[in-house]
Amino acid sequence: AYGARLARGPARRAAGLLNRGIALGYAVPGSVIAVGILIPVTRLDHAIAALWQSLGQPHPGLLLTGGLAALVYGYLVRFLSVAVQTVDTGLSRITVSMDEAARSLGRGRGALLREVHLPLLRGSLASAALLVFVDTMKELPATLVMRPFNFDTLATQVYTLAADERLAEASTAALAIVAVGVLPLILLSRHIAQGTQPQDS
């Protein structure tokens, strides 16, 4: 989002196309993203293992798909557009005249980001983090497909317990999802009510 703001000419159009392409991740179902990621990542895992063994070392196992790396990458593909759109909205409210005023005072790009943009984007960055946190916490299809063995999130626990018809046990995890999801939204709505959020994001 910041690169699209700073870019000029063809680079600006390319950055805009990239940002629009990122938005596709949120439109595609999580299970489709998971399968699309697992195929190349599994091949990469096997290639790394083969390379490691060719150096005379024991088989390292599945480093990416056997751990959290592939799952985190799946979350990144799925929810990056939420964060980018929120930050992009915040950047659109920072006028070009602010940039020009900072440059007229001798501020370079680094100082402009550090002293002008980041303080004004603080609300947008917090909002983006909260939205991604809530979305990630309740994501089920991608987590079910890509999670390592013996690894559960609240969403997968609810699904597993409900599928086994252990509804009383599933209700605890379900209420935890609601409670943990509501708290950031309360903070965000309070921030908006105080009148700081419209200026920041």
Tens-place pLDDT, residues 121-137: 888 888 888 889 988 98
Model confidence, pTM: 0.80
Instruction: Please state the domain extents for the chain.
Output: 2-200
CATH architecture observed for domain 2-200: Orthogonal Bundle (1.10)
Alpha helices in the chain (DSSP H): 2-6, 10-22, 24-27, 30-54, 69-92, 96-104, 109-112, 118-138, 141-146, 154-163, 167-193, 197-200
Q: CB within 8 A of 162, min separation 6: which ones?
A: 170
| Structure confidence at residue 195 as a pLDDT band (50, 70, 90) | low
Conformational region of residue 62, where left means phi above 0, alpha means psi within -120 to 50, and beta covers everything else? beta
What length is written for the chain? 201
- Mean pLDDT is lowest, of 67-71, 106-110, 173-177, for 106-110
